[in-house]
Structure 1
Amino acid sequence: MADLIKTLAVSASGMQAQGQRLRHVSENIANTDTPGYRRKTISFEQEVRFGRPTGLVEAGPVTLDRRDLSRIYDPGHPLADGTGHYDGSNVDLVVEIADSREAQRSYEANLRMFDQARQMTSSLLELLRR
């Protein structure tokens, strides 16, 4: 029974981490055209308690993509410098869409695992009641 509960916890931590990833991807997509915006990335780390890995996943710190910002030529833009250029963002929509699909599929896989563990727990409890 403890293994089934641990399975629920592991899949729930995976869903929570992927949910945070999706939030950052959606922020990146929303700010694609924001001048000076840097893409946010998030990493995942294995949770450790008392020096031992638990199997749970947690979202690590948010980092900003250090790639160069795109230079956009628009002399009429209020942020344009003397040469008519300003810094755009470093968000690539193709990469963000791919990241969102990957996060969505991982979230769905964790959800299916959570549902299977829940059904197995319910079946076990039903057998114990008899």
Structure 2
Amino acid sequence: MMSLMSTFNIGSTGLVAQAMRLNVTSSNVANAESVAGPDGRTYRARHVLFRSTEVPNAQGVGVEVSNIVESDAPLRQEYKPGHPMANANGYVQMPNVNPVEEMVNMISASRSYQMNIEMMNTTRQLMLKTLDLGR
């Protein structure tokens, strides 16, 4: 029974990590057309990096967010000559957010989150079945 309990600890690390990935993806999508952020710089897409981690009181390895990094992809240049942020040639620097890539990240993070929930539900059902053996 103890090894099944550790499954919840391991699964919760996956839930936290994928929730962070969904939050970062949401920020990227929300800022896909932002010309400038609070610091005055053009928004750059962010990506979550994961690493495996030892889970206390568990017989297994979980996952954690090791870092959130800005994309080094070039910013998009859009021709908008009347825009107040346009350069001398009429181009505005736009975020390097790729909507297709963000959609894939969202679907992948959502599926991973759902799989962790399903794994925890299966563990719960197994534990209940084990308790029913004593009846």
TM over 0.5: yes
Q: Which residue of 2 aligns with 1:21?
A: 21
Judging changes above 3 Å, is the alpha-carbon distance between structure 1 residues 49 and 10 closer, same or farther for their aligned structure 2 residues? Answer: closer
| RMSD of aligned Cα (Å) | 1.8
Match of 2:45 in 1: 39
Provide the C-alpha distance between the structure 2 equivalents of 1:97 and 1:81, rounded to a whole number of angstroms: 31
- Rounded to whole Å, the distance in 1 between the matches of 2:128 and 2:22 is 31
For residue 120 of structure 1, report the CA deviation from its aligned partner: 1.5
**8 Å contact kept, 2:10–2:55:** no
Structure that is richer in helix per residue: 1
What runs of 5+ residues in structure 2 fail to find an aligned partner?
36-41
Is 1:119 equivalent to 2:109 in the alignment?
no
Corresponding position: 1:58 with 2:61: no
Percent identity reads 31
Distance 1:8 1:120 in 2: 12
**What per-residue deviation string (whole Å, max 9, x for no partner) do you get for residues 4-31 of structure 1?**
0111111111111111100101110111
Closer, same or farther: CA 6–49 of 1 in aligned 2, 3 Å: closer
Question: Quick check: 2:18–2:112 contact (8 Å CA) kept in 1?
Answer: yes
CA contact (8 A) 1:21 1:103 kept: yes
CA distance in 2, matches of 1:91, 1:2: 44
1:70 aligns with 2:76: yes
* 1:3-14 correspondence to structure 2 within 5 Å: 3-14=3-14
* 1:88 to 2:94 alignment: yes
Matched residue pairs, number?
127
1:107 aligns with one of 106, 113, 126: 113
Structure 1 residues 35-64: Cα deviation after superposition (integer angstroms, max 9, x where no partner): 2110010011111479xx951111121100
Separation of aligned partners in 1, 2:25 and 2:126: 34
Q: Say which SS state the counterpart of residue 133 (structure 2) adopts.
A: helix
| Distance in 1 of aligned mates of 2:18 and 2:55 | 21
Q: CA deviation at 1:123?
A: 2.6
Q: Which runs of 5+ in 1 are unaligned?
A: none
